[in-house]
Structure 1
Amino acid sequence: MADLPFGFSHGDDPDRDKNKKDSGGPSDPFGFGAGDMGDLGQIFTRLGQMFSGAGSAMAGGGSGPVNYDLARQLASQSIGFVAPIPAGTANAIADAVRLAETWLDGSTALPAGTTTISAWSPTDWIDHTLDTWKRLCDPVAQQISSMWTSALPEEAKAMAGPLLSMISQMGGMAFGSQLGQALGKLSKEVLTSTDIGLPLGPKGTAALLPQAVEEFSAGLEQPRSETMMFLAAREAAHHRLFSHVPWLSAQLLSAVEAYAQGIEIDMSGIEELAQGFNPASMADPAAMEQLLNQGIFEPKATPGQTAALERLETLLALIEGWVQTVVADALGERIPGTSALSETLRRRRASGGPAEQTFATLVGLELRPRKLREAAALWQRLTEAAGMDARDAVWQHPDLLPSSEDLDDPAAFIDRVIGGDTSGIDSALADLEKQFKDDPKDGSESS
């Protein structure tokens, strides 16, 4: 895992194992011996005094593992003044999406999925996507927060009392602080509501962010109008999938949740907690965030996470590859720069653009469709071999979708879709059945 959630570091301390041994090991998270509960009580008293000055900062912060009120406040502050979007710009975006829908009708069997077309400011993007970010960030934040309590012996939990709740609140402030800073940065860089491949905004709402689109267009050779049309078509194509493939959004978000919930944390540096607090600065959430960034925790990748990550990356590649295929077919003869724009976005994703970097920081995984080229090639070849209707019918059920292995060998998948290899399968099954009938005991040994 290249990036760790909420800014946690790997804690690459060469003396860490030695320190753990000298301080009592992982079962003694505060570095005290088994008989030093009196000293531990003094530590809790000291921490309680440190936290007493932070009450006003925690007031009204909301409940849960992340303080989203603080996140929204900090994101808004980082955005600063937002000028109203001119009516002409909003109308141009609406016209582009409607025209894109008309062109897409001839390139996909899935009907239009947009019910609302919007031009979003960075503040609008935060307001309309924060609920989804809550679902994405809560599992990992909850997992991390629970370690504060689970790592303590029962006697320590009894001594801590209300302090544990205060620590949880401060953790929520720290997570909220980092989320707010990240979303504030990301809100000024995303181009559309589906820019990172996830349905972050409301269902059926196609939205472009004109400020970011303008900055993105400035560095390209294509005219701004073509870039706007291209992005509108991609946004509309995404919503066709998310609106008319009912299981897709849930499957995407569930894969992210499964990855986050699988995080395991080694409490290797927890003793620094008692030494790292500065009483004079605890009213500032940044102080807690700084402590969390010192390598106190070391997340470990688990088999469940690895499987969830592979499912997520494959599904993202299939979505992006399908969108690229239908948009290229819809715009190819109408917008000369379609191919170049597609390659620009592909490289932006592959190199870990701002969206991918921010997502990696917040949720702890790199949101990259690593096999996007392969997925686009598979959809294109399937379209040529079986037609548009057969291609889009694959989205009817998740079990019908190509696997990661199919992206490496698209010919076999295409044969299955068009029925090219069914006789071979039937023959193999018939041979196997015959072997068991002829000799049930030895059938499994025959080949």
Structure 2
Amino acid sequence: MTNPRSGMVDWDLAVSIGSRLAGDGPTVTWSEAAEVVEELRAGADRSTGLVRDFTGLDAPANTAPVVVVDRAGWVQANADGFATVLAPIVTKLTGDKQPSRIAHAVGSRVTGAEVGGLLGFLAGKVLGQFDPFFEPSGRLLLVAPNIVHVERELEVDPHDFRLWVCLHEETHRVQFTATPWLGGHLLGEMQSIADSLEPTGFLDEGLGRITEALKGGARGGNLLEAVSTPEQKEILDRVTGVMSLLEGHADVVMDGLGPSVIPSVADIRKKFTKRRKGVGVLDRTLRRLLGLDAKMAQYRDGAIFVRAVVDKAGMAEFNAIWECPENLPTKAEIGDPNAWISRVL
């Protein structure tokens, strides 16, 4: 069940709308579906040792389960995660105020519908995701129908592609389980954003900034930036640095291991990189407004950062980055690896 802590969002409605919009995905037989699920679980299990040997990060056994889900399962999991992440912000905005039952019902359904639309759009695109906020140690989600859809669309070897996805996503699981403070650190950053909020006038000002972002969408703005104050942007810059590290590190691991265990990895990488840019005007517009273009930049910039540090200092020295929050790179250091080396190493 969804987490009920956020009364500002009707999470049940969000899940219902998101699941309907996401659809079921490609048509497969029961036997094909069972084969995909079994292969993804085996691929994730195999990837654990490969990632450990390549990175030197040793994740404790029997933590953060691997869960193969359909699109509706991904929507449910992310609604639960959003409820946890947004709880500090909702608490700050609502405080002790108790809106009327009508206002509460109408408002929560409106936001529930909006969140559901967002989840429905993303549920058809995400291949895998590590959920660091699932108690007690997180969980790895692999979205089977999307993986099948993409491997068919790209016309790549399905077995190679499934292991390729598992390598990337299992790296995220290892990052968080080998660095147990990391999930709490990210949740703490959300608390910092909540602490920076001023409830009075927030909604009016936020809606005004959203309107301006929509008008200026062609200039590359996104909605997250639109509703952020300068103080909040500083926090978001720190989060961007961390997310760039995580995504770039996973890409480096995936590319480093790929040639030795995935025969067709070069063909997969070439086709998948092209696909990441989005297809169609509507898809590209939504990606820009939702900040997904920025996420693509995180893969690219983070990978450049990780490769630069590893090439100069070696993987063992690079792993100092996982020792404490102070060693994480800033957004500026992602673009200047030598600055991070000078500061930390």
Give the TM-score range, shorter chain.
0.7 to 0.9
The 5 Å alignment of 1:110-149 reads 110-112=57-59, 115-138=64-87
Answer 1 or 2: higher relative contact order, Cα 8 Å, separation at least 6: 1
Distance 1:176 1:257, change over 3 A: farther
Residue of structure 2 in register with 1:425 after alignment: none
The 5 Å alignment of 1:24-423 reads 64-79=7-22, 86-112=33-59, 115-138=64-87, 164-194=100-130, 199=132, 203-256=137-190, 258-259=192-193, 262=196, 265=202, 267=204, 300-338=227-265, 341=268, 357=286, 368=295, 370-415=297-342, 418=345
- Provide the C-alpha distance between the structure 1 equivalents of 2:274 and 2:184, rounded to a whole number of angstroms: 27
Contact 2:81 2:134 in 1 (8 A): yes
Per-residue deviation at 1:350?
Answer: 6.7
Per-residue deviation at 1:344?
Answer: 6.0
Asked which structure has the greater CA Rg, the reply is 1
Contact 1:314 1:369 in 2 (8 A): no
Could you list the per-position Cα deviations for residues 392-440 of structure 1 after superposition, in whole angstroms to 9, with x for gaps in the alignment?
232111111222332232234335555xxxxxxxxxxxxxxxxxxxxxx
- Provide the C-alpha distance between the structure 1 equivalents of 2:278 and 2:192, rounded to a whole number of angstroms: 25
Could you list the per-position Cα deviations for residues 160-199 of structure 1 after superposition, in whole angstroms to 9, with x for gaps in the alignment?
xx973421221011111222233233223211123xxx63
> Which amino acid is 1:218 matched to?
R
SS in 2 for 1:87: helix
Per-residue deviation at 1:110?
Answer: 0.9
Per-residue deviation at 1:233?
Answer: 0.6
Could you list the per-position Cα deviations for residues 280-332 of structure 1 after superposition, in whole angstroms to 9, with x for gaps in the alignment?
xxxxxxxxxxxxxxxxxxx7531111101211111110111111122222223
Could you list the per-position Cα deviations for residues 190-226 of structure 1 after superposition, in whole angstroms to 9, with x for gaps in the alignment?
11123xxx63656353331111011112232532222
Contact 2:64 2:177 in 1 (8 A): no
> Which consecutive residues of structure 2, in runs of 5 or more, have no partner in the other structure?
208-225
Contact 1:117 1:207 in 2 (8 A): yes
> Which amino acid is 1:390 matched to?
E
Contact 1:71 1:177 in 2 (8 A): yes
Contact 2:15 2:75 in 1 (8 A): yes
Residue of structure 1 in register with 2:212 after alignment: none
SS in 1 for 2:202: strand
- Provide the C-alpha distance between the structure 2 equivalents of 1:225 and 1:122, rounded to a whole number of angstroms: 21
Per-residue deviation at 1:366?
Answer: 7.6
Per-residue deviation at 1:100?
Answer: 1.6
Per-residue deviation at 1:345?
Answer: 5.7
Identity %: 22
Distance 1:309 1:193, change over 3 A: same
TM-score (structure 2 length as normaliser): 0.74
- Provide the C-alpha distance between the structure 2 equivalents of 1:257 and 1:342, rounded to a whole number of angstroms: 37
Q: C-alpha root-mean-square deviation of aligned residues, in Å?
A: 3.9
Distance 1:261 1:115, change over 3 A: closer
More helix by share: 2
Per-residue deviation at 1:246?
Answer: 1.9
SS in 2 for 1:176: helix
SS in 2 for 1:64: coil
Contact 1:65 1:142 in 2 (8 A): no
> Which amino acid is 2:184 matched to?
A
**What is the count of residue pairs matched by the alignment?**
311
SS in 1 for 2:67: strand
